[in-house]
Amino acid sequence: MTAQLAEILPPAEFRRIIETFREDLGRLTAELERSGQAGNPETYRRAAHALAGAAAAVGAVLLERTARIAMDPRCGLPPTQMVPMIRAQAGLALEELARLAGQPGNA
C-alpha cells in the first residue's frame, strides 16, 4: 500500500504525509514509552491504538501489527520489550517511506 501511495499521490503530497507520519510517530512512541514506564496500561493501549492507526494509514503493515499486539491486554509482553520493537519498526517504516519519496532516510 505504501508504494501505491507513492505512485498515485503528487510527490509534494506524499512528502507531507511522510512528515505528518514522522511527527505522529515521535509523539506516539514517546507516549507509549512514558505510559509503559509509568505502569499506566490504559494510556499505553490508547497510544498503541493511535500508532496502529497511523501506521495503517501509510501502509506500514509490520508496525501496525506490532502496535496492535501492544494494545492487546492479553499480549504477555511488557512495554520494556514492546517499545524497542515498535521504535525499530517505526524507523524501518520511515526509511521505506523516505526511499519511496526519494528522500534521505533520516528516521
Instruction: Give per-residue pLDDT as tens, 52-66.
Output: 999 998 889 999 999
Element (H, E) at 10: none
Determine if the pTM surpasses 0.95: no
Phi, psi of 39 (to 5 degrees): 70, 35
Span 26-37, average pLDDT: 94
Which of 9-23, 34-48, 90-104 is least confident? 90-104
What is the rounded distance in angstroms from the CA atom of residue 20 to the CA atom of residue 7? 18
Instruction: List pLDDT tens digits, range 9-31.
Output: 788 888 888 889 999 999 999 99
